Amino acid sequence: MTLASVPRYDPDAIPAVGDHAVVVGASVAGMVAARVLDDAFDRVTVLDRDPLPDDASARRGVPQSRQPHVLLEAGRATLEDLFPGYGEMLVESGGLMLDWTTDLTYYQQGGVLATGPQPKVLYSASRPLFEHAIRQRLAARDGITFRGETQFVDYLADGTNDVAGVEIREGDGTESLRADLVVDATGRTSSTPSWLEAHGYDAPPVDELTVDVAYTTAVVERPPDDRRAYFVPPSPQQPRGGGVFPVEGDRWLVMLQGVHGDDPPTDIDALREFARTLPIDDFAELLETRPVVGDIAHYPFPSNRRRRYEALDEFPDGLVVLGDAVASFNPVYGQGMSVACLEAVLLGHALADGTDDLPRRFFDSASDVVDVAWLLATTADLAFDDTEGSRSLPTRLFDRYASRVVDTAHEDGEVSSTYGRVLSMEVPPTALLRPGVAVRVLRP
């Protein structure tokens, strides 16, 4: 399920279903969920263990916040529905609105993808600015309360082992916070699976694909009128890659990455040497000619991980899980924020039909979104010989066909455009099989 197949969000279609909802985690996933819950509940409380800044400062609890982030089309369009004018606010705060077809040089599999026939919006900003713009819009809503520096301790269970709220800690004191619905948006470290087992439920089955990718990002000064962006995903032929994205404050984020233990260094001189091994010269050129600002950030990512809540026969009422707490993907593909936005919309559609059997209905629909992101991420990661995982016949066939797609996209703007729309989760991967694309890809 992608942007094209998820019904547009309509706040008027959501009835009032309860008094109070609690969201644990003020991540992008948590905040977009809170926006939807605000249409269904009288009050929504968003909790986070970090202090929640009034500006676009990085939070300690978001270790990847200093790495580049882009907002794919699925996330961009959904955020505009949830927060009309979000893109304009982001740009006014210093973010950039790029044209995917002209501002971004996308190098993959031995060549640069051709320019597509139509402009395609791509927002580029730091992760803290993306979060700050959402937090500002959300905080302006009367029914929303943020509580930073608040530690989640446990779920409150009623007599039937359903979830009836959360126990929290602020400073030295604890508090029981009752709620009609709790949303777990705490990310990969979610404690929900262990809580389920402790209360007589099964933990969700887990799919995991180890890729052992690491990222190192340097910040360099950028001329105000220079909007260049570069993206080189790693491949079996070229296992080192990276991205360069312009962000607020007249800066570029220059990120380099390696897979399966080939970690990019954190020393600037060694990082420049690493950049010289990439197939295009622009990374090394920026690191060698532009002033480096601040510290270098390093972030390891061990594996794609998916918790299959949709496979459980029993699950407590009063609780749903979304975002990275359900599935987290190799960050190179930039899917996390967009998946979270689409999941929030699906949560809204589930609430439109009331709260009966809400978790099962939500997990079933959300799994269709995760399926698409998981296919794109894991198919690419399985192309590396060192990636351990089963390569089914459909996966091998899709990988071979996708390789033909990329080769064709070097010269064919129509194929390049469709490929970009698939990567942006705007249309499903099956769009690459449509006759108008397939005939171009498969011709001798």
Q: Residue 443 CA to chain centroid, in angstroms?
A: 35
Strands 292-307 and 229-232: unpaired
Q: Is 318 left (phi over 0), alpha (psi -120 to 50) or beta?
A: left
Same-domain pairing of 312 and 401: no
Cα angle 390, 402, 437 (rounded to 5 degrees) comes to: 145
Q: Into how many domains does the chain fold?
A: 3
Distance CA 341, CA 347 (A): 10
In a domain, 349, yes or no: yes
Q: Quick one: 137 and 16 in the same domain?
A: yes
CATH of the domain at 357: 3.50.50.60
Angle (CA) 170-171-177 rounded to 5° is 20
Domain final residue pick, 261, 286, 303 = 303
**CB-CB contact of 188 with 328 (8 Å):** yes
Q: Looking at the structure, do residues 322 and 398 belong to the same domain, yes or no?
A: no
Q: Do 60 and 33 sit in the same domain of this protein?
A: yes
351 and 217 in a single domain? The answer is: no
Q: Is residue 341 part of a domain?
A: yes
Q: Is residue 110 part of a domain?
A: no
CA distance 414 to 436: 9
- Does 351 lie in the same domain as 268? no
Would you give per-residue pLDDT tens digits along the chain (444 residues)? 888 899 899 999 999 999 999 999 999 999 999 999 999 999 999 999 999 999 999 888 887 888 998 889 999 999 999 999 999 999 999 999 999 889 999 999 999 999 988 888 899 999 999 999 999 999 999 999 999 999 999 999 988 889 999 999 998 899 999 999 999 999 999 999 999 999 999 999 999 999 999 999 999 999 999 999 999 999 888 889 999 999 999 999 999 999 998 999 999 999 999 999 999 999 999 999 999 998 999 999 999 999 999 999 999 999 999 999 999 999 988 999 999 999 999 999 999 999 999 999 999 999 999 999 999 998 889 888 888 877 777 777 888 899 999 999 999 999 999 999 999 999 999 999 999 999 999 988
Residue where a domain terminates, one of 357, 380, 403: 380
Report yes or no on 116 lying in a domain.
Answer: no
Indicate whether 357 belongs to any domain: yes
Q: Residues 77-105: pLDDT tens digits? A: 999 999 999 999 999 999 999 998 899 99
DSSP H/E element including 351 = helix 336-351
pLDDT tens per residue, range 231-273: 999 988 888 999 999 999 999 999 999 999 899 999 999 999 9
Boundary residue ending a domain (242, 271, 303): 303
Which residues are CB-contacts of 127 (< 8 A; sequence separation ≥ 6)?
A: 58, 62, 64, 65, 66, 67, 69
User: Quick one: 48 and 23 in the same domain?
Assistant: yes
For residue 245, give the CATH number of its domain. Answer: 3.30.9.10
- What was the pLDDT predicted at 219? 97
Whether residues 86 and 22 fall in one domain: yes
Give the residue from 99, 71, 132, 100 showing the smallest Cα distance to 338: 71
Q: Are residues 134 and 236 in the same domain?
A: no
Domain range for 413: 390-442
Is the domain of 272 the same as that of 322? no
Beta pairing partners, 173: 170
179: left (phi > 0), else alpha (psi -120 to 50), else beta?
A: beta
The candidate with the shortest Cα–Cα distance to 23, out of 186, 139, 151, 132, is 186
Between strands 319-321 and 173-178, the pairing is unpaired
What pLDDT is attached to residue 107? 97
Q: What is the DSSP letter of 258?
A: E
Whether the Cβ atoms of residue 249 and residue 344 lie closer than 8 Å to each other: no
Residues 62 and 132 occupy one common structural domain: yes
Give a yes or no: residue 109 inside a domain.
no
Q: Do residue 175 and residue 237 come from a single domain?
A: no
Residue 118 covered by a domain: no
Collapsed DSSP state (helix, strand, coil) of residue 393: helix
Q: What is the pLDDT of residue 397?
A: 81
For residue 113, tell me if it sits in a domain: no
